[in-house]
Structure 1
Amino acid sequence: MHKGLSSLGMAMRAGKLVTGDEIVLKAVRKGEVHLVIIAGDASPNTKKKFQDKCSTYGVELAEAFDRNQLGKAIGKLDRVVLAVTDAKFGKMIAGHLNQNSEVDHIEQTTGQQGQ
């Protein structure tokens, strides 16, 4: 298994991950998110919605894997969007994703990341 996926599983078990469109959007607005991961097979509208929201709130966004891989990594059914709510997990997972050729797009924005 890819290190990024296994790290997502660890974050889920540690309670440092949220999933689902509305839950992730709410957490981003509250400043509780350090990294958002969106599935490569998400709809264009969903991708744009999260790109816009993450850009506005200064949250790093990565597009990686597909909905099946993301769901499987965290022990759930298909997942289109995940958010990491812990800074250390977020940094670790982003590092793994940066090394991964499957990542299509990493958007680094400046904001309140250095907490």
Structure 2
Amino acid sequence: MLAVGIDLCEIDRIQRSMRNPRFCREILGEQEFAQLQGRGFPAQSVAASFSAKEAFAKAMGTGLCGFSLREVELLRQRNGAPYLHLTGRAAALAAGWEFSVSISHTGSTAAAVVAGERKEA
């Protein structure tokens, strides 16, 4: 079984939300927060993280219900390749699934696509 979710996010909207010092702590997981903090919290990257969370929710067919945004982290490997790290209820919801994620952005919009495949038991 395959599942796909896609999301677009306006970077300006995220940039405005980031004026609230609690915003990043409320939506970003621990490792995700640390990676983005080390890069100075670029708004386009925070928007890509938010889009990845939304795309994951769409792929799972749940919307943003049943898990915390902080439980879906968009992390980057040393070579910059993105991947999803799931914890808590998000990990339980996605048990038996493998995911790939692709992100992109322009000057005004960030996008994420999450593709999931149910593993054979």
Name the TM tier (shorter chain).
under 0.3
Computing the radius of gyration from Cα coordinates, the structure with the larger value is: 2
Name the one with the larger helix percent: 1
Name the one with the larger strand percent: 2
TM-score, normalised relative to structure 2: 0.26
